[in-house]
Structure 1
Amino acid sequence: MSTHNDISPFAFHKIRDYVYRTAGIVIGNDKTALVTGRLWRRLELYGHKTYEAYFAYVSSPEGAQERSTMLDLLTTNETYFFREPAHFEFLRDQIIPQQRNKPMRVWCAASSTGEEPHSIAMVLSDVMGKTDWDILATDISGKVLEHARTGVYRAERIDHIPANYLKNYCRRGIGEYEGMLAVVPSLRSRIRFEQHNLMHTRKNDEQFDVIFLRNVLIYFDQPTKQKVIENLLQCLRPGGWLILGHCESITGLNLKLTTIRPSIYRKPADAVQVLQKLAV
C-alpha cells in the first residue's frame, strides 16, 4: 500500500518541471520529501491515490485553481521581520540620506507573507516620516499576499523588531487575537501588495529607487537569475540600489551593476544625472 511519501520519479519530474516553467524555481533531485510534505494533504483532500493522478488533475482545465494552490505550496518560503538586519541599517544610514528629501519608491520583489515590506516601511516611516514614500510588495503566491495585506502575525514572529518600532508601529492583539500582533493601518496603507511573477516584465513603466530581491535567487539556475534581474533592472532608476540576500551573488551574470558591498549593488547613473550633480 502506498503512503503519502511515495512519489514516482515520473510524477516528481512532472511537478518540478511545471514549477520551473512557471516560476523559474529549481526543485533539486533531493527534494522529494519537500514536495510530498507540502502536497500529500492535497491528494487526501481530492481523493487521489497517487501523485500522477493528482498532477493529471491539476493539469486539466478543472484543476486551474488547484494548480495555483500547488504553486503556492511549493514556492512559499519562510521569512521574518528584519531578517538580515544589515540591509535595513544600510537603507537607513546610506540610501535614505542620499535621497535628499526626494520621493522614495521601493519595490520588495518577493514579499512572501509581508514581514519584509513591513520592516522596510518601519524604517522609511521612522526616518522620512509622512513625506513622499511608498512600497510595492509583490509575490507569485496569491495566498501569502492575502496574509500580508492583513498585517497580522503571531507574536513570536516579532523577536527581531527593534523595541521603538514595536512600540510605534505594532499593536498587540486582545481577546480572540491574543498572542497576535498587528501592524498599524497608517503603515500598511503605504504598501501596495500585488501578485507578480518575476519571470515576467512589469506592464507599466514604474521606476524604483531601491529593489529588494532577497533569498529568492538561490532557487534559480543561472539563466533564470539573468532573466529575473534583467526584468527588475528595467524598473530600477539609474543610480538605484538592488539588494540581494547575504548568501546570494550575481557572479557569472552579465549585468551592468556596481558592487557596493556583498549583496548590495547599484545601477550606474546616467550622464544627465552626473551632469546635474556636478552643477549643484
Structure 2
Amino acid sequence: MNTISDNEFGLFQRFIYDAAGITLSSAKKALVCGRLAKRLQACNLGSYSEYFKLLTSGQNGAEVQTAVDLLTTNETYFFREPKHFELLREAALAARNKAQPFRVWSAASSTGEEAYSIAMVLADTLGDAAWEVTGSDISTRVLQRARQAHYPMERCRQIPQTYLKRFCLRGIDEQQGTLLVDRTLRSRVQFMQVNLNTTLPRLAAFDVIFLRNVMIYFNGDTKRQVVARILEQLKPGGFFCIGHSESLNDITTALIQVAPSIYRKP
C-alpha cells in the first residue's frame, strides 16, 4: 500500500489523538502510510479504511497497541541535554541525608536511554543509598527494548568514559559494536506502560520529573492537561525538566523557572 487518501489520513490523525493526545500534521502523511503499510499486509486488508475499522471494532486490542507503537515517534540517546543531568546531580546531593528515597521519573522514556542516564548519575552520587528511577512510555515496543538495556555503540557516545567502565559492558564477538547496561544498574530502574493522556496510575511522589521533547507532539489543551496530571506527582520543591525546544508559557503557572527548560515546584 503506497498511498493513503486525505480522508484515511484524517481517520488516523483522530485515532492517535484519541489514543495518545498526539497531533499529527499533514506533513506526517507519508510517515503514517509507510509505518502502517506492513500491518495492512499482515492483516490481509486492502485499504487503510479497512485497517481503521479493525482498530475501532473493539475486537483486537493487541492490534490497537501495535498501531499506537508504530505511530509514536521515539528518538532519544544517552545524556541528552547535559544541563539537566547537572541539575539532577545537585538535587541528589542536596537530598543525601534525607530518610526518604530520592525518586526520579522519566515520563516518556522511549527505549530507556534517559532512564539509565538518570540511574548512572544517581548511582555515582548516592551510591547504595535509597533511590529509585521509573521510566514510562505509551509504547510497549520501546519498553521491551528498554528492559533489555542493549544498545548500539553509536547511541552511547555521550556516556562519560568513567560511567562506561562502571555501568556498561561492551559486546564482543557477535555482539561487537553494542553495549549492555550492567545488571546491577538495570535492577534499580523500573519500566511501566503509562499513557500520559489519561488518568495516571498511582505513583509515589517524585523529586525530579523529566518530560522532554514530548509536548511538541501535543496541542495546547493536551499540553495543559498532561502537565497538570504530571505535576500532581511532583513533590513540593521538586524539579521538572522539559526539552530545550519546549516552553510552559500558557501551560501552567504552578512552577517557577530556575533555568532554561528547568522548573521547580514551590
Residue 105 of structure 2 is matched in structure 1 by: 107
1:1-280 to 2 correspondence within 5 Å? Answer: 4-92=1-89, 94-102=90-98, 103-204=101-202, 206-268=204-266
- Of 257-266 and 246-255, the range deviating more from structure 2: 246-255
Report the residue type matching 1:17 in the other structure: R
Q: Deviations over 1:152-180 (max 9, x none)?
A: 11122111111111111100122332322
Distance verdict in 2 for CA 1:38–1:205, change over 3 Å: closer
Contact map agreement 2:103 2:205 (CA 8 A) in 1: yes
Distance 2:153 2:227 in 1: 34
Q: Deviations over 1:235-268 (max 9, x none)?
A: 1011100000111110112331000011100000
Corresponding residue pairs, total: 264
TM-score by length of 2: 0.95
- Aligned residues: percent identity? 49
Gaps spanning 5+ residues in structure 1: where?
A: 269-280
Contact map agreement 1:104 1:134 (CA 8 A) in 2: yes
Gaps spanning 5+ residues in structure 2: where?
A: none
Q: Deviations over 1:182-238 (max 9, x none)?
A: 000110111110001112233325110000000000000111111101101111011
Residue 276 of structure 1 is matched in structure 2 by: none
Distance 1:190 1:100 in 2: 17
Distance verdict in 2 for CA 1:74–1:260, change over 3 Å: same
Report the residue type matching 1:253 in the other structure: I
Distance verdict in 2 for CA 1:202–1:184, change over 3 Å: same
The Cα RMSD (Å) is: 1.3
Contact map agreement 2:69 2:139 (CA 8 A) in 1: yes
Contact map agreement 2:240 2:263 (CA 8 A) in 1: yes
Structure with the greater alpha carbon radius of gyration: 1
Contact map agreement 2:194 2:201 (CA 8 A) in 1: no
Distance 1:199 1:85 in 2: 28
> How much has 1:49 moved relative to structure 2?
2.2
Residue 278 of structure 1 is matched in structure 2 by: none
Report the residue type matching 2:103 in the other structure: R
- The ranges of structure 1 where at least 4 consecutive aligned residues each deviate by more than 3 angstroms after the TM superposition are none
Classify the secondary structure of the residue corresponding to 2:224.
helix
- Of 196-205 and 112-121, the range deviating more from structure 2: 196-205
Contact map agreement 1:246 1:262 (CA 8 A) in 2: yes
TM-score by length of 1: 0.91
Contact map agreement 1:169 1:184 (CA 8 A) in 2: yes
Distance 2:263 2:198 in 1: 22
Distance verdict in 2 for CA 1:205–1:137, change over 3 Å: closer
Report the residue type matching 2:106 in the other structure: C
Q: Deviations over 1:72-95 (max 9, x none)?
A: 011131111111112112212x31
Report the residue type matching 1:77 in the other structure: N
Q: Deviations over 1:32-87 (max 9, x none)?
A: 01111211121222222221111112222333211110000111311111111121
> How much has 1:31 moved relative to structure 2?
1.1
